[in-house]
Amino acid sequence: MSSNSYKKGLWAESFAKNYLYVKGYSILAQRFKTPLGEVDIIAKRLKTIVFVEVKMRQTLSEAAESINFKNRSRVSNAAELYLQKHPEYNNFEIRFDALVLAPYAWPEHITNAW
Euclidean distance between CA atoms 64 and 27, whole angstroms: 22
Domain interval for residue 28: 3-110
pLDDT in tens, 48-97: 999 999 999 999 999 999 999 999 999 999 999 999 999 999 999 999 99
The predicted model gives 3-8 an average pLDDT of: 82
Total count of domains within the chain: 1
Q: Can you give the pLDDT at residue 9? A: 83
Q: Can you give the pLDDT at residue 5? A: 80
What are residue 91's phi and psi, to 5 degrees? Answer: -95, 15
CATH code: domain of residue 74: 3.40.1350.10
Euclidean distance between CA atoms 86 and 80, whole angstroms: 10
Euclidean distance between CA atoms 58 and 25, whole angstroms: 26
Best CA proximity match to 98, nearest among 88, 108, 106: 108
pLDDT in tens, 18-60: 999 999 999 999 999 999 999 999 999 999 999 999 999 999 9
